[in-house]
Structure 1
């Protein structure tokens, strides 16, 4: 079953360097096995806030991605450019 991850990021500053780190990090995420899609939503009222919407094939694929991010090879520089991050994971739905 697929799952959705929402990653809310508040940047310290919106600079070309910060955008370069975002693009690099998110390109790696999008290319990771099991990632079905990735979209970045920019806040209309605050240019330093954004939400990354990730769709993963399975929770196992996302867990493998998280494990990889904990390794030296997978470490990202998002912590260098963000003042706040909030990750929310949705793997269950409500039937209507």
Structure 2
């Protein structure tokens, strides 16, 4: 099982959507609220990230609410929706 840490902030709709997605797929995660705990904010910024939500999955970061990218990184969707963006470049 993946280790998932979600950095969120208060009054942030994308943060709520990430949490809803994780809950819908019954993913175990640790939530770190950077508004309530400045240590979490410093931890996030030490990774070079200055916005939320930021979802860390086994050391890789997904910024914002990117539903398909999150599902793929979590292993709940086995198709990368990004490979089709490059289909025309191999000709």
- Whether TM-score is above 0.5 comes out as no
TM-score, with structure 2 as normaliser: 0.34
TM-score, with structure 1 as normaliser: 0.33
RCO comparison, higher one (Cα < 8 Å, 6+):
1
Q: Which structure is higher in helix share?
A: 2
Q: Which structure is higher in strand share?
A: 1
